[in-house]
């Protein structure tokens, strides 16, 4: 296992996830509110929908990285899954903590926390990959699959809880003009 190769891939993953995640904020509208685009793009301004902007680029770097590094890094999949989960948890905890304290969200802080979350998750993934961390790749695949399915299902069957509420419209899920 070449630590420099892993480190370099993780740096590329950070850059890629930050750029693609930013672009995914706009793809749903760009593609004319296409049903397929709604699976991986933010359809509204809810925290849940913004987690897609982090999850899908990190999933993509995991899939690509598996073919590039995964055969030589036995804990690659688990490391990437844990990094992705920590990134998502960071965004949720950070957002609700700071908005709970100051009473409102601030766009600059929200955007910055996205970048920090990506860096944090990819750094954790790197540290786990170069360690003796042992894991079960089947559990990692199942975890990613469940999260992926939740993003798709909850886009259309959205629970009425705060994380899914669009603060702009105060509605949940895809809103169609009638």
pLDDT for residue 93: 97
The whole-model pTM stands at 0.90
Confidence of residue 74 (pLDDT cuts 50, 70, 90): confident
Confidence of residue 176 (pLDDT cuts 50, 70, 90): low
Residue found by looking up tokens 């480190």 in the block: 7
- Give the tens place of pLDDT for each residue, 108-162: 999 999 999 999 999 999 999 999 888 888 999 999 999 999 999 999 889 999 9
Confidence of residue 1 (pLDDT cuts 50, 70, 90): low
3-state helix, strand and coil shares in percent for the chain, rounded to the nearest 5: 75, 0, 25
pLDDT at residue 178 tops 50: no
Residue 5 token pair: 């190769």
pLDDT at residue 79 tops 70: yes
3-state SS string over 98-111? HHHHHCCCCHHHHH
State the Cα torsion 96-102-106-110 to the nearest 10°: -30
Distance of alpha carbon 151 from alpha carbon 157, whole angstroms = 10
- Give the tens place of pLDDT for each residue, 13-41: 999 999 999 999 999 989 888 888 888 89
Distance of alpha carbon 17 from alpha carbon 22, whole angstroms = 8
């Amino acid at each position: 296992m070449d630590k420099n190769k892993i480190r370099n891939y993780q740096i590329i993953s950070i850059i890629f996830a930050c750029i693609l995640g930013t672009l995914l904020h706009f793809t749903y509208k760009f593609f004319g509110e296409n049903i397929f685009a709604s699976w991986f793009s933010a359809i509204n301004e809810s925290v849940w929908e913004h987690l897609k902007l982090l999850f899908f680029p990190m999933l993509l770097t995991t899939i690509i990285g598996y073919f590039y590094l995964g055969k030589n890094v036995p804990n690659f999949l688990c490391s990437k899954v844990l990094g992705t989960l920590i990134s998502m948890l960071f965004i949720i905890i950070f957002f609700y903590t700071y908005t709970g304290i100051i009473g409102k969200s601030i766009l600059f802080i929200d955007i910055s926390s996205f970048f920090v979350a990506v860096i944090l998750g990819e750094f954790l993934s790197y540290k786990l990959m170069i360690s003796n961390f042992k894991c079960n790749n089947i559990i990692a695949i199942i975890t990613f699959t469940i999260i992926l399915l939740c993003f798709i299902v909850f886009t259309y069957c959205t629970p009425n809880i705060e994380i899914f509420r669009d603060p702009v419209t105060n509605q949940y899920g895809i809103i169609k003009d009638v």
